[in-house]
């Protein structure tokens, strides 16, 4: 499977785009230069006939793709196939916003929506993790929930990172609050005012960016 994937990506590669993509992501791992629409097409075709006899086989393939990746698109392929028991390793070892944000919003979020009880408890644990990227995941996992946002969960996941000096946590806090402001701008304005002395200037600015004054 890995050989088939690598050949498909090699054929779709664009070396001119690859350099720009690697520079934009500040990635030590090189790119093939396969942009998102084409990458999705390649992955869909490559994995169309894949079947697994057991969950362990599924997990084994995902982790083989992830751990053996030579190009960043190969790790995107692992994300495409992954499931909840694997996400924690992918988040911690991926340790960059393109992997983490994709998992948070496109994978963890839908699972939280379907299984709110156990996932809520997991996100609360992750929000207090020593790992910054697990914290970011907990903050961003409801990004697309709009009126369905569990505001208590959002605020509780933000709380352990509210005074953090980490750029990626400050940015995540502002982004999550700004997204909910489309649903209830008055609530976000009140939240920022209550916590302004504890929040970074970046988080405050991002949270209020789209609120009409």
95-138 pLDDT tens trace: 999 999 999 999 999 999 988 888 999 999 999 999 999 999 99
If one counts the domains in the chain, the total is 2
Cα–Cα distance measured from residue 129 to residue 143, given in angstroms and rounded to the nearest whole number: 20
* Residue 161 DSSP one-character state: G
Cα–Cα distance measured from residue 75 to residue 63, given in angstroms and rounded to the nearest whole number: 9
91 domain-assigned = no
Q: Are residues 60 and 106 in the same domain?
A: no
Cα–Cα distance measured from residue 8 to residue 41, given in angstroms and rounded to the nearest whole number: 10
56 domain-assigned = yes
Last residue of a domain, one of 82, 116, 146: 82
Q: Are residues 65 and 9 in the same domain?
A: yes
Q: Are residues 135 and 207 in the same domain?
A: yes
Q: Are residues 113 and 46 in the same domain?
A: no
Would you tell me the crossing angle of helices 84-94 and 72-81 to the nearest 10 degrees?
160
Q: Are residues 71 and 2 in the same domain?
A: yes
Q: Read off the pLDDT band of 73 (50, 70, 90).
A: very high
Residue 70 to residues 37, 73, 99, 175, Cα–Cα distance (Å)? 21, 9, 15, 31
Tell me which residue range forms the domain holding 2: 1-82
Q: Are residues 135 and 170 in the same domain?
A: yes
Q: Are residues 70 and 104 in the same domain?
A: no
pLDDT value at 168 more than 90: yes
87 domain-assigned = no
Q: Are residues 138 and 196 in the same domain?
A: yes
């Amino acid at each position: 499977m890995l050989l088939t994937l690598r050949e498909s990506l090699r054929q779709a590669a664009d070396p001119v785009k690859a350099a720009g993509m690697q520079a934009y992501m500040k990635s030590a791992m090189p790119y093939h230069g396969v942009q998102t629409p084409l990458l999705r097409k390649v992955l869909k075709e490559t994995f169309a006939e894949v079947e697994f006899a057991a969950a362990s086989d599924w997990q084994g393939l995902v982790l083989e793709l992830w751990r053996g990746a030579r190009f960043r698109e190969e790790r995107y392929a692992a994300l495409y196939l992954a499931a909840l028991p694997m996400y924690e390793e992918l988040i911690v070892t991926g340790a960059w916003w393109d992997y983490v944000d994709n998992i948070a919003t496109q994978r963890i979020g839908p699972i939280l929506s379907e299984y709110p009880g156990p996932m809520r408890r997991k996100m609360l644990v992750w929000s207090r993790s020593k790992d910054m990227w697990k914290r970011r995941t907990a903050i961003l996992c409801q990004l697309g929930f709009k009126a369905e946002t569990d505001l208590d969960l959002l605020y509780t996941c933000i709380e352990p990172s509210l005074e953090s000096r980490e750029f990626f946590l400050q940015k995540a806090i502002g982004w999550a609050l700004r997204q909910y402001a489309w649903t209830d701008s008055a609530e976000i304005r009140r939240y920022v005012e209550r916590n302004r002395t504890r929040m970074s200037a970046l988080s405050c600015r991002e949270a209020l960016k789209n609120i009409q004054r």
